[in-house]
Amino acid sequence: TPLKAVASRHFSKNAVFGRTTFRYIRGDLESCRMTSSSDENSAQTSAIASDLNLEQYRNKNNLDDQVFSAMSEDGGLKVTVATTRNLLNEMMIQHSMNPVAGDALGRATLCALMASNGMQEQQMFQLSLKGDGPLRGCVTIVTGKGEARGYVGNPSLSDDFTLSEAIGSGTVQVVKNHPDWPNPYNGITSIRHGDIDRDVGIYLAESEQRSCALAAATSFNGILCTSAGGYLVERLPDCTTETMQHMEKNLAKLVEMNGEDGEALPANLLLEGKTPVDIATVLLDGLGMKPLNQVTPSVFCECSEEKLFRSLRLLPREEVDEVLKDEGKIEARCQFCGKVYRMGPEEVAKRFTEATGDPSLDADFQKDKES
C-alpha cells in the first residue's frame, strides 16, 4: 500500500537486531539478545504511576514534532522517542527530494536528535554518512535546542534503489562542538548495513561506548512523509541485569505491536496514532517512568548574506571582481536550506568598503555583523 513504510522494503529478517537488542561495548559488537527471565509470573507494574501527570507531554495523533525522553525508575535506562513528520516534510520541500533521499535524511536527522538529546542548547551535533552509493552522502546537523538542518548529495535519486544501495559503503562520521570548547570531538566508524539507524547504533557503541538499542524509520505516500520517528534506549551505568532483561521483553513487545518483524520500527506505530509518550510507556512498562524533558525539533538554518560576504572576503579580490565581470552578480545557494542569495556589483563594492577586521576570525566577523 502507499502508506507502507519505506523501511519495509530494505531489510532482511534480521532487521530487528540492533533495533531491539543492545550493542555491547566490549567483545563482539554484533547484536545479541540477553536471556530473558524464565519467571513469566513476575509482577508487572504500570510504566506510569497513577499520580504521574503526563498532560504536558501529550501529542495527540503526532500533530506536532516532538522528542520525548524519560528514565526508568531505578535510573538504569534512558529512553528517547521522537516523531519528526513535519520537519521532514519541510526538508522534502526545501530540497525537492524523492522518497529514498527523504528516508535517508529523515533517519539521519532522527538519529542525530535522539543521540544528542540532553546536550546543552548551544552544542552542535553533526552526523555524516559518506558512502560511495548514488545518494552521494547525507549530512545532518542538530543543536541542543532541537534545531535541525541537512542535505543529501542527490536529492532526486529514483526509487529504483533501496536505502542500503543508495548509501553504499563508507563511513559514519560524527562531530560535536560547543562555542566554549577549544576543539571539537570527532568520531568515525564504518558503514556496516547502509540503513543508517543500525549504523549509528554501531557508531555509538564503538566510538562513544554507549550500549543502546536504536531504531528510526519513515513512511511515505508519494513524496509526502506520513510518519517519521524513532527510539533510542540507552543502558546507563549500574543498570541491573533484571532491568535489562525486562527491557528486552518490552522491546520484543514493541516489535509485535509494530508488525512486519520490526522492519519499520516504529513508523507503523506512529501511523496508527501512537505518540512518543505511548511508545516510551510500552518500553518502560514494569520499570517505572520518570519524564526528563521534551524538545520541539524544527528546521533552522544559519545561512545569511553576512556569511556569504564573509566567504567572499576570504577570496582574493581579483577573483571576486572577475566573477562580477563575467556573471554580473554574485549568486550562491545554501546547501542546507536551498535559499539563494544574490549580490550585485554595487552592493559588493559597498560591503568591501565598509568591512572591518579579519574575516577569518569569528570574533571579528561577529563585530562586523553587528555594526
What whole-number distance in Å separates Cα of residue 113 and Cα of residue 127?
10
**Cα distances (angstroms) measured from residue 292 to each of 68, 77, 312, 355:** 8, 12, 44, 46
The pLDDT tens digits for 78-93 are 999 999 999 999 999 9
Neighbours of 121 (CB within 10 A): 11
Q: What is the pLDDT of residue 368?
A: 65
The pLDDT tens digits for 264-322 are 889 999 999 999 999 999 999 999 999 999 999 999 999 999 999 999 999 999 999 99
Q: Is the pLDDT of residue 166 over 60?
A: yes
What whole-number distance in Å separates Cα of residue 371 and Cα of residue 354?
10
The percent of residues above 70 in pLDDT, for the chain, comes to 84
Give, as one character, the DSSP assignment of residue 318.
H
* Confidence at 199, pLDDT banded by 50, 70, 90: very high
User: What count of Cα atoms within 13 Å lies in the side-chain half-sphere of residue 321?
Assistant: 5
The burial class, CB within 10 Å (0-12 / 13-18 / 19+), for 129 is: buried
Average pLDDT value over all residues in the chain: 88
Q: What is the pLDDT of residue 264?
A: 86
Least confident of 41-45, 115-119, 230-234, 328-332: 41-45
The burial class, CB within 10 Å (0-12 / 13-18 / 19+), for 306 is: middle
Look up residue 231 and give its amino acid: Y
Report angle CA 68, 72, 73 to the nearest 5 degrees.
125
Q: What is the pLDDT of residue 25?
A: 61
Q: Is the pLDDT of residue 71 over 60?
A: yes
Q: What is the pLDDT of residue 362?
A: 80
Q: What is the pLDDT of residue 22?
A: 75
**Cα distances (angstroms) measured from residue 219 to each of 5, 99, 121, 247, 369:** 4, 9, 30, 26, 42
Cβ-Cβ contacts under 8 Å for 339 (sequence gap 6 or more): 301, 303, 333
Task: Enumerate helices (H) and strands (E) in the chain, giving the number of each.
Answer: 11, 13
CA 284, distance to chain mean position in Å, is 22
What whole-number distance in Å separates Cα of residue 119 and Cα of residue 143?
8
Per-residue pLDDT, averaged over 44-66, amounts to 71
CA 290, distance to chain mean position in Å, is 23
Per-residue pLDDT, averaged over 51-70, amounts to 88
Q: What is the pLDDT of residue 134?
A: 98
The burial class, CB within 10 Å (0-12 / 13-18 / 19+), for 328 is: exposed
CB 236, CB 229: distance < 8 Å: no
The pLDDT tens digits for 151-160 are 999 999 999 9
What whole-number distance in Å separates Cα of residue 361 and Cα of residue 363?
5
Q: Is the pLDDT of residue 180 over 60?
A: yes
The burial class, CB within 10 Å (0-12 / 13-18 / 19+), for 145 is: middle
